[in-house]
Amino acid sequence: MKNVLKIVWKVTKWALVLFFGISILSVIVFRWVPFYTTPMVIIRSIKEKFDKKPVPIRKEWVSIDKISPNLQLAVFCSEDQQFFTHHGFNFDAIKDAWKHDEHSKKIRGASTISQQAARCAFLTTHRSWVRKGFEVYFTGLMELCWSKKRIMEVYLNVIEFGKGIFGAEAAAEFYYHKHAKDLTRQEAAALASILPDPLKWSPVNPGPYVAERQAWILGQMDHYGTLDLNNPPK
């Protein structure tokens, strides 16, 4: 029995060393290297093949300077207005969401842009406490190793904007037949408005709720005016 426990401990120890080594190295490397694919893209592709409903994957990495400042501002306003002041987690939003979920069947999200970037870049969207734990871990690593500008760049390149549509460039080309750098404020707000449920909502054929979200986001964008990632708002 002791020998078995020793073997189990040895395997566990080396598995942990391997996991932490690979994950830390990956986050350091991806501080500069583009994400040409992600676990979520791979899983979506496999699922579509098994369902015999293949959907072409649209994904093209572009640098942050080729993504319209309008879209950068729109996602900042819609997803995480504390992005530049927190260290990966908005604890006030988490507390509010926890209280809301206790009395409602509809779950309210409290993920920051950093958390969403970690989830989409390194993990999947499958809901579980295990995945949430890994999300916290990768979010902390990213905040430690990456700048906010890099986190925003990765986020805008890996986030899902529709079925088979990943990243700002693919979304701009699919919905508006233009490059991400040319998105208008209205188009950027429309894209940001569908992020809570991109597989269900459309930026070009919005229902009343999505249209209302778009209008609210535009109002917030007018309030902030512009967003300079090199000199972010305090």
What are 159-207's pLDDT values in tens digits?
Answer: 999 999 999 999 999 999 999 999 999 999 999 999 999 999 999 999 9
- Is residue 40 domain-shared with residue 21, that is, in the same domain? no
Q: State the amino acid at position 172 in one-letter form.
A: A
Q: Cα–Cα distance between 42 and 28 in angstroms, integer?
A: 22
Looking at the predicted structure, is the pLDDT value of residue 154 above 80? yes
Contact 125, 40 (CB under 8 A): yes
Question: Taking the model in full, what pTM does it have?
Answer: 0.89
CATH of the domain at 179: 1.10.3810.10
User: Could you write out the three-class secondary structure of 90-112?
Assistant: CHHHHHHHHHHHHCCCCCCCCCC
Are 7 and 98 within one domain? no
Look at 173 and 45; give whichever has higher pLDDT.
Answer: 173
Same domain? For 65 and 112 the reply is yes
Structural domain containing residue 12: 1-30
**Are β-strands 58-59 and 165-166 bridged in parallel, bridged antiparallel, or unpaired?**
parallel
* Predicted confidence band of residue 234 (pLDDT cuts 50, 70, 90): low
- Dihedral, 60, 64, 66, 72 alpha carbons, nearest 10: 100
- pLDDT cut 70: percent of the chain above it: 90
What is the predicted pLDDT for the residue at 106? 55
DSSP letter, residue 198: T
Residues 7 and 59 in one domain: no
User: Does one domain contain both 1 and 53?
Assistant: no
